[in-house]
């Protein structure tokens, strides 16, 4: 099963070049069968550019989460703390492997009309590349 995540273009680029090994989230999907994330690069790119396989999802206190993930965070501690402002806990999706698509896809090709605010489950029978 796939989930679609909106990610800022600079962070998406860092995921696909292997620099960023964790994607941080304030909330996470509840389904346990999610194995892959399809990446929608938000404005100004506005297209689906690749996917990554999930190794694990870490849920912890913000300070502990940073300590566990900072070596491959792909962002500064300041940005991390700013993102999780006023949150006591957060999530880090550990990226096992990533694949950038040769040709970006439109949301329409995934039968999605608007980009997700946080995440969106994709239809089980969706054909992705």
Angle formed at CA 44 by CA 41 and CA 45, multiple of 5 degrees: 40
Q: What number of residues does the chain have? A: 129
SS3 track for 41-54: ECCCCCEEEEEEEE
Asked if 11 and 23 count as a contact pair (C-beta separation under 8 A), the reply is: yes
Q: Return the closest-CA partner of residue 72 out of 24, 3, 4, 7.
A: 24
Q: What pLDDT band is residue 127 in, cutting at 50, 70 and 90?
A: low
**93 in helix, strand or coil?**
strand
Q: What pLDDT band is residue 128 in, cutting at 50, 70 and 90?
A: confident
The pLDDT tens digits for 42-92 are 999 999 999 999 999 999 999 999 999 999 999 999 999 999 999 999 999
The pLDDT tens digits for 94-116 are 999 999 999 999 999 999 999 99
Asked if 24 and 74 count as a contact pair (C-beta separation under 8 A), the reply is: no
Q: Domains of the chain by range and CATH? A: 2-121 (2.30.130.30)
């Amino acid at each position: 099963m796939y989930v679609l995540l909106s990610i800022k273009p600079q962070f998406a680029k860092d995921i696909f070049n292997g620099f960023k090994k964790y994607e941080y989230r304030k909330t996470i999907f509840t389904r346990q069968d999610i194995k892959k994330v399809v990446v929608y690069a938000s404005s100004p790119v506005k297209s689906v550019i690749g996917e990554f396989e999930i190794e694990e999802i870490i849920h912890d206190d913000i300070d502990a989460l940073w300590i566990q993930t900072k070596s491959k965070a792909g962002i500064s501690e300041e940005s991390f703390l700013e993102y999780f402002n006023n949150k006591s806990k957060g999530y880090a999706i550990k990226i096992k492997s990533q694949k950038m698509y040769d040709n970006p896809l439109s949301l329409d090709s995934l039968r999605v009309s608007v980009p997700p605010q946080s995440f969106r489950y994709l239809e089980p029978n969706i054909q992705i590349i």
